[in-house]
Structure 1
């Protein structure tokens, strides 16, 4: 199996999180926080313009852990359309702009 490197912009995680919490309120812990199984979104890191790369590197592990937790959820969540669309590779993901 070939692997590819792709770009993931942090701003695409928030809409996914909101969609999942709306679609699965019980699993999102809205009625009972103890029942929450949907992972929490990694927190924001404040930075100066000159530290963009450092912040991106620091966020790799929490974002990776979030994505891994998503795919380990029960199939009714991990295989829902929203999660499939999120992980679907788009042209801009495979060919990110060079900075």
Structure 2
């Protein structure tokens, strides 16, 4: 799939989906996640949590776009045993809500 066709480039995933992927990868690849030796970590870090009141949800989402984009780009550049694992494929898989997003 060409990079320009990745689903999140147009419809960013909800943060909990990204966090879930991160936790799955860290559990599945503890060495690459730096759990035994932080110097061996190759799985990218996620951007820090941004705390705002509920009325600022859209602002927070916009601020997360670039860091999540950078995270995803780093993810697909990892060695194939990580970048092509089932969890990563499922993350980038188009979902019905991506193809027919809700109208604002």
Give the TM-score of the pair, scaled to structure 2: 0.84
Give the CA RMSD over aligned residues.
1.6
Q: How far 1:97 sits from its partner (Å)?
A: 2.1
Give the TM-score of the pair, scaled to structure 1: 0.88
Flag structure 2 segments of 5+ consecutive residues without an equivalent: none
CA deviations over 1:47-91 (Å, ceiling 9, x no partner)? 122222211111110000010010010111001111001000101
Q: How many equivalent pairs are there?
A: 97
Contact 2:12–2:65 (Cα < 8 Å) also in 1: no
Flag structure 1 segments of 5+ consecutive residues without an equivalent: none
Q: Using CA pairs under 8 Å that are at least 6 residues apart, name the structure with larger relative contact order, 1 or 2.
A: 1
